[in-house]
Amino acid sequence: MSKTAVITGATSGIGAAYARRLAAEGYDLIITGRRESIIRKLADELTKQHNIKATVIIAELSEEVDIRRVIEVVKNAENIEILINNAGYGGTFKPVTRLTSADYEKMINVHQLVPLRLISKVVPGMIERKKGVIINVSSLGVYAPTPAGGIYQGTKSFLKLYSESLFMELKDKGIKVQALCPGYVDTDFFRDSEDEESKTSILSGFRTRLTMSPEAVVDYSLKCLEKDRVICIPGVVYRLLWRLVSIIPGSLYYRLTSRFIRVE
């Protein structure tokens, strides 16, 4: 029987890197994305190179009708061994006064409700087969909150905490669970969400020096998976920063962060 991997947000970046890696390992793919020409080109490429089957679902995962189409395909698929909840975006790095209820609901749908609904569909089969992998792409930002990052970092924090809970619940059932917490990655995520002012900020310079490739992130993710590490932070510098932030008193961290990141 063929083995299948489901990857949301696989048009480019981390999702596409996972798709390429898993196709090379012989997995059939169910991949979602919004840019049809790009993701279908990826699917055709992987199908020809690796003789696998790639099912493409064009979907906006903040919209209920599209979510239901993805759920229906996943529900009817056989032998799903891997689920990667990668779809996400960062367009809500705005002051709270400039956010609407629609902004909140859209991000909650993409970062929380879609992963939960997909997990609920694939876990029973994984338990029955005593084998499975669930990777939820969170963010290093869950450890380093910033002004105007509340809804993004809050929804990603949910993914991190939920993954830890799921890891404990399923580890004796043959299912591996990971919360991937990358820092800056060379993807459309940052290019699309960065405004003109932030491109010249101190954070932009920091980002340029520490940006990782999607392939390096995926490589480290799979290494963490082999070692059953539920929290995976790619990049030596990012792991050092994570440890540093964890020991800084909260009051000092808030003062320093508010000083360097100002919200008008």
Q: What is the pLDDT of residues 57-107, one digit of tens each?
A: 999 999 999 999 999 999 999 899 999 999 999 876 788 888 899 999 999
Residue 89 is among the residues annotated as catalytic for this protein: no
> Which pLDDT does position 126 carry in this prediction?
98
pLDDT > 90? residue 182? yes
The boundaries of the domain holding residue 13 are 4-260
- Which listed residue (89, 152, 162, 220) is catalytic? 152
SS (H, E, C) 26-94: CCEEEEEECCHHHHHHHHHHHHHHHCCCEEEEECCCCCHHHHHHHHHHHHHCCCEEEEEECCCCCCCCC
Report pTM: 0.92
Across the beta sheet with 231-232, what order do the strands follow?
Answer: 54-58, 28-33, 4-7, 80-85, 132-137, 175-180, 231-232
pLDDT > 90? residue 148? no
Report yes or no: 152 and 160 within 8 Å, Cβ to Cβ.
no
User: Which CATH number is 152's domain given?
Assistant: 3.40.50.720
Chain mean pLDDT for the chain: 91
Confidence of residue 189 (pLDDT cuts 50, 70, 90): low
> Which pLDDT does position 92 carry in this prediction?
67
Number of independent structural domains in the chain: 1
Lowest mean pLDDT segment, chosen from 119-133, 163-177, 207-221: 207-221
Confidence of residue 197 (pLDDT cuts 50, 70, 90): very low
> Which pLDDT does position 107 carry in this prediction?
95
